[in-house]
Chains A and B, each alone.
Chain A
Amino acid sequence: MAPRSASGQYLAMRPRHLVVPDLGIGIGLRVPHYASILEDQPELGFFEAISENYFGGGKPRFHLERIAERYPMVLHGVSLGIGGPLEPDLDYLRRLKELARLVRAPWLSDHLCWTGSGHVHLHDLLPLPQTPFVVKRIAARARMIQDFLELPFALENTSSYLAFEGSEMSEWEFISEVVEAADVGLLLDVNNIYVSAFNHDLDALQFLRGLPHQRVLQIHVAGHTHFGTHIIDTHVGPTPTPVLDLYREAVRLTGPVSTLLEWDQDIPELPAVLAEAQRLRGARA
């Protein structure tokens, strides 16, 4: 597929219910940075909190609320498992909705994956067979979730280390069909595209260009660990150059979209994360 042109042309094509503000560059809200954020009040567009970490009270909830008073806060889930055997858990969704109201989240997101079977939760984001039946199942659930939450809802493309011979479409076709059929947003993770492209011998640019850019509500950028035979999505920083290049192309295709830096392994002091966020700001310009 030839590259589509004209940065931002897709913003005008975005469905009205998925119109969200461009918050600029943000970083993931992580425990080691709580105090520095409140003390230093760094210049940042937004924070993204892992929803499940803030369902309780105490120190996590205290800091979430204080930081959400000063910055836009988006919520990102890791346990929905929307493609798994079980239907979405309404109690979980109610708690998520309450949390979103508390921090005035402009949108919510989780992953296009499954996370376990039966009562087992693997705490991983696993790939699905890419078939029309799976598309239909996930799309129906995603649509219901977005209606229930009464906020724009986005699904993130995950990185993966295995694939199924029963898949009947490419991963970008699978993602596109799900979000189009569900009429939900896409959280575009460019590092996950890079990782999966290497692991499955795909063309990362073709993957990126094949996605529905008008539905991209947010972009994730992160680092990874290369093992020679495969790449693991470790979220270790700083962002490798090929991922940064992919990000530049993503921005060219989507226009200005809120972009989040994820740094989850060997998390450095806040200034180092902010310096990396500054690199993204430069790449986005």
Chain B
Amino acid sequence: MSTSTGGGELEQVDAVLASLTDLIQSPLPTADDGALAELGITPSGRLSARERVDIYRQQFWLRHADSLAEDFPATKTLLDAAWPDVVRRYLSAHPPSTRSLRELGFRLPDFLAALAPTEVPALARDMCRLECAYLEVFDAPDEAPLDPSDVLGLAPEQWLSARLQLSGAVRLLELEQPVADLRRALRQGEASEAQSELAAAPRAVHLVVYRRELGVWDREIAPEAFGLLRCLLLGTPLAQACAESAAESPESEPLLDAHLGEWFATWTRLGWISRVDIP
């Protein structure tokens, strides 16, 4: 679909808008008067053309830095003095490209993961992944949870090939440290004590971040349950997912045998499963 008219002149306009976009997202004010002259920006009675463009540039950085700070408050706290520089580098590497500011930081976890551990400690990386999961789940599309009565009549052989669909408002996180507790402590202003506890006894956690009744929650689960959920998320049929999870360690199979029914009931109750597809 094209509704354009006026070819050459509009191409010139678009070239001006593209150059202006570059100037506005630049970390520093432009020093190139020639470039400004080419854009044809006029001065006002009180401001030069450069100062006028710089209003937009400053607004760009303020708006997006504020947005990231609001979305990743705990990561910001953990990175402390390094945060402004991380934000500047992130926005330069990944300029905003989506309509909603809510998605601005969706690439921040991967960006931090690519930085040296001396710049971004593991705790901050994990926290960033957790906060990003919270953002993603917050307004993920609504889905009705599985109605248990829908699967009551399924025959055992149907369960073998069943595919359990996880809700779009569920994220699975394998973290090096239990940062969800630290996040809660930070929100309550008890960060230093929680950080000391983490430093004294770090441990890996398997976490599910999910939305239920409009709230966003996190819940730690057993590694075996996590492995099974991960297989299901990839679309693996239930029987195969159980077999793959059982093969992960000698302890897995008896755990699965003992707890599968209970896990399924809990996951259904918490709204993690949206439907069961029978081929």
Contacts and interface: CB of A to CB of B under 8 A. Distances in A.
Interface of A: 52-53, 55-62, 79, 84-85, 87-88, 90, 92, 114, 116-124, 126, 128-129, 131-134, 136-137, 140-141, 144, 161-166, 199-201, 228-230, 232
17 contacts: A57-B139, A79-B100, A120-B96, A122-B25, A129-B16, A133-B5, A137-B4, A140-B5, A144-B1, A162-B42, A162-B49, A162-B56, A163-B52, A165-B40, A165-B41, A201-B45, A229-B51
A141 B3 contact: yes
Contacts of A161: 52, 55-56
A57 B140 contact: yes
Interface stretch (B59-67, B200-208, B267-275): B59-67
Interface string B1-18: 111111001100110111
Q: Which 4 A-B pairs have the closest CB atoms?
A: A57-B142, A56-B139, A133-B6, A140-B3
Interface in B99-123: 99-102
Contact of A56 (B41, B44, B49, B140): B140
Interface in B21-70: 21, 24-25, 39-42, 44-47, 49, 51-53, 55-56, 59-60, 63-64
Contacts of B138: 56, 58-59
B20 interface: yes
B47 A229 contact: yes
B17 A59 contact: no
Contacts, number: 147
Contacts of B214: 58-59, 62
B40 A137 contact: no
B169 interface: yes
B60 A124 contact: yes
Q: Interface majority SS on A: helix, strand, loop or mixed?
A: loop
Nearest to A201: B45
Given A120-B97, A121-B99, A126-B56, A85 B14 contact: yes
Given A57-B142, A57-B169, A163-B41, A90 B55 contact: no
Contacts of B142: 57-58, 61
Given A165-B40, A232-B59, 18 more contacts: A52-B100, A58-B214, A59-B138, A61-B139, A61-B142, A92-B99, A118-B21, A120-B97, A122-B56, A123-B96, A126-B17, A126-B56, A140-B4, A141-B3, A144-B1, A162-B41, A163-B42, A200-B44
